[in-house]
């Protein structure tokens, strides 16, 4: 941590006033991600002990920025201590924005537009910036080659199929893997492959996408990254939207290279399959092997994608043993129990004024938390904030600058996280969290929105936010 403070102070010539650890992707990345802030400036600090990954990220970042691509600026680095400092792109991932702007399969136009912007930028990474990239710094492989594919397939075989108890003939499955690998490598693969192009690695700032976590990039085929985004299990995009976005991607791609849609589509679904298998291998390793149960909550979404593929797609090659394994997965009682256990826990978050009494628990469970925000600085006492609410940027910025607000939120998160884990383990379906303040307009609204933003990134959690006093005002 001290090395990050030193980098911040050397770069900005300003002391660090606040330090805020940020959640990684549920413990899956191995990196520590920390927001450091002064009076007016903030940055994201990274601590990671794999030097090769750090070198790849830093070199790729500078290369992409030279090409005008929207990636974070790197401010400072100390590779000897596995530390670097980069631009703060805010808190809203594409996944969170999608979650806030959907009701089941009904996705709001602004979320669809965000995805359209994302798929339109992808060819610039793959082709424009990929042409003169230094592939010598790629880690662990410079290309998505036979070895890379074998790692992904074996990851799926040993950490998912074996640990989920799915029966298969090992030699017959290896024969299918060999045919699949040969087919995948028959596609043109002289492009930049981002590798983890998915909704949690894309930030939205002022409606524009910015891109992160490309340190695993290498040379490969065009198909892999768009498949990663559109079949991202947790995002759970409806099939019709996936097709619209694929069409938009191919239309944009045609502006960079001569593209024959039929030739592209011949390999596309094979890349969808291997990306899903790679993800399932990761879920199995983290969930079955490391016993981090929350990773298994993504499995039902991946199975839904497999079910759709098996019903709607015929590959140009025969993979009978692999397809049998997929069908066995769909019929597995063990995996079905994950699906039934993954029904969402609904968290209802309220803001309210203590003058008007506590919010009613309409579920009848009578449980949950009530947090009193009246000990925090009150923006409502300042004339400039009186007509605003805790959802407005000036109020958010004011409260973000208060150290005790961050301490309060950290304590809230610790308590709520512990309950969430236990509620999910025991199969509970409802939790209520309420924030009160004097008028129910500024602090309680801000706190409710901040908690909602953090919980929306969690697997198996549906978040509903109600601002009782604001609703009364608008009514």
The single-letter DSSP state of residue 288 is I
Residue intervals in the chain for CATH 3.30.200.20: 2-87
Can you give the pLDDT at residue 473? 65
**Domain 94-341 classification at class level:** alpha beta
Strands 83-87 and 42-47: antiparallel
Three-state secondary structure readout of 160-206: HHHHHCCCCCHHHHHHHHHHHHHHHCCCCCCEEECCCCCHHHEEEEC
Q: Which helix (H) or strand (E) holds 74?
A: strand 74-78
Q: Are strands 345-353 and 461-467 parallel, antiparallel or unpaired?
A: parallel
What values do phi and psi take at 422, rounded to 5?
Answer: -70, -40
- pLDDT band for 58, please (50, 70, 90 cuts): very high
Please compute the mean of the pLDDT values over residues 150-164 and round it to a whole number.
Answer: 97
Mean pLDDT of the chain: 92
Write down the pLDDT at residue 295: 83
Provide the token pair at 303: 């199975």
Whether 164 shows a pLDDT value over 50: the answer reads: yes
Q: How far apart are CA 357 and CA 404, in angstroms?
A: 25
Which of the two residues, 197 and 457, has the higher pLDDT score? 197
CATH number for the domain whose boundaries are 2-87: 3.30.200.20
Contacts of 242 (CB under 8 A, 6+ apart): 230, 231
Q: Are the CB atoms for 82 and 119 separated by under 8 Å?
A: no
Mean pLDDT of 406-412: 94
CA dist 444 and 454 (Å) reads 16
The Cβ-side half-sphere exposure at 166, using a 13 Å CA radius, reads 26
DSSP state of 89: -
Identify whether the C-beta of residue 295 lies closer than 8 Å to the C-beta of residue 287.
yes
Cα of 304 vs its chain's centroid, Å: 19
**What are the start and end residues of each CATH 3.90.1200.10 domain in the chain?**
94-341
Distance CA 307, CA 327 (A): 8
Contact 43, 86 (CB under 8 A): yes
458 secondary structure, DSSP code: S
What is the tens place of the pLDDT at every residue in 195-221?
A: 999 999 999 999 999 999 999 999 999
Lowest mean pLDDT among 24-28, 84-88, 272-276: 24-28
Tell me if 193 sits within 8 A of 218, measured CB to CB. Answer: yes
Distances 466 to 250, 366, 389, 445 between C-alpha atoms, Å? 40, 17, 14, 9
Q: Residue 221: which residues within 8 A CB-CB, separation 6 or more?
A: 144, 184, 187, 188, 189, 191, 193, 267, 271
Q: Kind and range of the H or E element at 348?
A: strand 345-353
pLDDT recorded at residue 364 = 66
pLDDT tens, 361-406?
A: 776 666 689 999 999 999 999 999 999 999 999 999 999 999 999 9
Give CB contacts under 8 A, 24+ apart, made by 279-284. 279/233, 280/156, 280/160, 281/152, 281/155, 281/156, 281/157, 281/159, 281/160, 282/28, 282/155, 282/159, 283/160, 284/156, 284/159, 284/160, 284/163, 284/164
In this structure, the chain runs to a length of 475
3-state secondary structure (DSSP) of residue 45:
strand
Q: Which of 145, 122, 153, 118 is nearest to 276 (CA)?
A: 153
Q: Are 418 and 161 in contact (CB under 8 A)?
A: no
> Residues with Cβ < 8 Å from 423, sequence gap 6 or more?
345, 431
Residue 456, pLDDT above cutoff 90: no
Q: How far apart are CA 132 and CA 124, in angstroms?
A: 12
Q: Are 346 and 423 in contact (CB under 8 A)?
A: no
Is it the case that residue 474 has pLDDT exceeding 60?
A: no
CA 350, 356, 357, 362 dihedral sign is negative
* 266 has a pLDDT exceeding 70: yes
pLDDT score at 298: 87
- How does residue 90 score in pLDDT terms, banded at 50, 70 and 90? very high
């Amino acid at each position: 941590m001290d090395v990050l403070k030193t980098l911040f102070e050397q770069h900005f010539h300003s002391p660090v006033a606040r330090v805020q650890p940020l959640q990684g992707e549920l413990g899956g990345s191995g990196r520590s991600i920390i927001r450091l802030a002064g009076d007016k400036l903030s940055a994201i600090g990274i601590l990671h002990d794999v030097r090769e990954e750090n070198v790849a990220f830093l070199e790729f970042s500078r290369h992409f920025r030279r090409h005008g691509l929207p990636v974070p600026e790197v401010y400072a680095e100390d590779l000897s201590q596995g530390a670097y400092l980069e631009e703060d792109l805010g808190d809203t991932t594409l996944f969170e924005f999608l979650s806030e702007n959907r009701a089941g399969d009904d996705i709001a136009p602004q979320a669809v537009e965000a995805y359209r912007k994302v798929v339109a930028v992808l060819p610039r990474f793959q082709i424009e910036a990929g042409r003169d990239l230094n592939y010598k710094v790629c880690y662990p492989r410079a290309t998505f080659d036979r070895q890379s594919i074998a790692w992904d397939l074996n990851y799926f075989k040993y950490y998912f199929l074996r640990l989920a108890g799915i029966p298969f003939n090992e030699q017959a499955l290896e024969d299918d893997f060999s045919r699949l690998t040969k087919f995948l490598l028959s596609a043109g693969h002289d492009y930049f492959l981002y590798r983890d192009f998915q909704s949690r690695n894309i930030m939205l700032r002022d409606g524009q996408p910015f891109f992160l976590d490309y340190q695993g990039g290498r040379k490969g085929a065009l198909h892999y990254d768009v498949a990663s985004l559109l079949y991202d299990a947790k995002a759970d995009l409806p099939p019709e939207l996936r097709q619209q976005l694929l069409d938009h991607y191919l239309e944009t791609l045609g502006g960079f290279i001569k593209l024959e849609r039929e030739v592209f589509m011949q390999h596309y679904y094979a890349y969808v399959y291997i990306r899903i298998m790679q993800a399932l291998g990761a879920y199995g390793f983290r969930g079955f092997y490391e016993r981090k149960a929350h990773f298994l909550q993504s499995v039902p979404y991946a199975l839904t994608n497999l079910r759709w593929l098996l019903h709607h797609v015929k590959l140009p090659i025969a993979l009978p043993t692999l397809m049998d394994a997929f069908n066995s997965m769909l019929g597995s009682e063990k995996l079905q129990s994950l699906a039934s256990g993954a029904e969402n826990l609904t968290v209802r978050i309220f803001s309210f004024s203590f003058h008007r009494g506590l919010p009613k628990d309409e579920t009848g469970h009578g449980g949950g938390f009530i947090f009193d925000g009246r000990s925090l600085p009150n923006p409502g006492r300042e004339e400039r904030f009186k007509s605003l609410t805790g959802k407005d940027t000036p109020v958010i910025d004011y409260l973000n600058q208060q150290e005790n607000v961050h301490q309060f939120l950290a304590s809230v998160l610790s308590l709520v996280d512990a309950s969430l884990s236990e509620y999910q383990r025991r199969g509970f379906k409802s939790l209520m969290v309420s924030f009160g303040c004097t008028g129910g307009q500024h602090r309680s609204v801000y706190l409710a929105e901040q908690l909602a933003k953090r919980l929306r990134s969690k697997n198996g959690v549906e978040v509903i936010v109600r601002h009782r006093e604001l609703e009364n005002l608008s009514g």
